[in-house]
Structure 1
Amino acid sequence: MSTLQAVELVLLAGCVVIALWLVVLWLRRRSLAAHGPVSPCAVKLPESPRWRLGLLRLGPEQLDWFSVGGVTTHPTMSWHRRGLEISTPTSGETISIPGLDSAVAITLTTHGSEVARLALEPKIYPAVRSWLESAPPGHNVNVT
């Protein structure tokens, strides 16, 4: 086997690995979307100086965040709907994060303490606000 053939085989193997990785990410995204609406977002924890790109899913009882490059279908972070509060994005302030177009930042707090900051596309914020303000399924169903 010549050197050229060996290089071609290595490049072919690399292309196959990249193609398989893209298929796995696509299947994971479809699997996540099967259990609730999914949108791109970024999260910044209070102790971290950087934003991490990921996917946000609005579940029936919790807000789930998934790392964008992971293969697991379990959330990396979750915030239970009860006791969760979100801030209003400041008007005119947008954050530039690679992978998100002109994102707005909101703060998630639970029982008065900040748990994370989320950067969302401006059109996604009303959906998250509506999800939070609506009653969880089965909560106060017999209220008259």
Structure 2
Amino acid sequence: MSTLQVVEVLLLAGCLLLALWLVVLWLRRRALAAHGPMCPCAVRLPGSSRWRLGLLRMGVRDLDWFSVAGLTTSPSMSWAREGMEISTPAPEPVSLPGLDSAVAVTLTRGREHLADLAVEPKIYPAVRSWLESAPPGHNVNVT
């Protein structure tokens, strides 16, 4: 086999691996979205200055965060809806690749700082509405 043929075979294998990875990510995204609304976001944990790009899913009882390039269908981070509060957006937009003029909000539970989220401005009202609405079966016997 000549050097040119080896290079062609390696390039073809690389292209096939890339295509396979993209198909797997697409299938993962569809599987994640089957369990609740999803949106792109970034998260910053307390004490860190680094934003991590990912997908935010609003489930029945939890707010789940998934890494954008991960292969698992289990959330990397999850916050229970019960008792969680969300701040108003910061006055200055956050500049992150993959998010257009994102707004930063803080998730807290009591005095505990859970995380900072950066979401697109049109997504913020949806997350806030999800958080403020009662989960199914919660307080059903209120009179």
Q: TM-score surpassing 0.5?
A: yes
Q: 1:110 corresponds to which residue?
A: 109
Q: Could you tell me how far 1:64 is from its partner in structure 2?
A: 0.2
Q: Does 1:135 align with 2:140?
A: no
Q: Secondary structure of the residue that 2:36 maps to in structure 1?
A: coil
Question: What is the alpha-carbon distance in structure 1 between the residues aligned to residue 47 and residue 142 of structure 2?
Answer: 41
Change (3 A) 1:49 1:90: closer
Q: CA RMSD in A?
A: 0.7
Q: Does 1:48 align with 2:44?
A: no
Question: What is the alpha-carbon distance in structure 2 between the residues aligned to residue 11 and residue 110 of structure 1?
Answer: 50
Q: 1:81 corresponds to which residue?
A: 81
Question: What is the alpha-carbon distance in structure 1 between the residues aligned to residue 17 and residue 6 of structure 2?
Answer: 17
Q: How many residues align?
A: 143
Question: What is the alpha-carbon distance in structure 1 between the residues aligned to residue 111 and residue 88 of structure 2?
Answer: 15
Q: 1:72 corresponds to which residue?
A: 72
Q: Secondary structure of the residue that 1:54 maps to in structure 2?
A: strand
Question: What is the alpha-carbon distance in structure 2 between the residues aligned to residue 90 and residue 120 of structure 1?
Answer: 11
Q: 1:94 corresponds to which residue?
A: 93
Question: What is the alpha-carbon distance in structure 2 between the residues aligned to residue 86 and residue 63 of structure 1?
Answer: 12
Extract structure 1 runs of 4+ deviating beyond 3 A.
Answer: none
Question: What is the alpha-carbon distance in structure 2 between the residues aligned to residue 29 and residue 36 of structure 1?
Answer: 11
Question: What is the alpha-carbon distance in structure 2 between the residues aligned to residue 9 and residue 25 of structure 1?
Answer: 24
Q: 1:6 corresponds to which residue?
A: 6
Question: What is the alpha-carbon distance in structure 1 between the residues aligned to residue 29 and residue 47 of structure 2?
Answer: 28
Q: What letter matches 1:50 in structure 2?
A: R
Q: Could you tell me how far 1:136 is from its partner in structure 2?
A: 1.1
Question: What is the alpha-carbon distance in structure 2 between the residues aligned to residue 130 and residue 43 of structure 1?
Answer: 19
Question: What is the alpha-carbon distance in structure 2 between the residues aligned to residue 85 and residue 74 of structure 1?
Answer: 23
Question: What is the alpha-carbon distance in structure 2 between the residues aligned to residue 86 and residue 51 of structure 1?
Answer: 18
Question: What is the alpha-carbon distance in structure 1 between the residues aligned to residue 47 and residue 93 of structure 2?
Answer: 22
TM-score, normalization by structure 2: 0.98
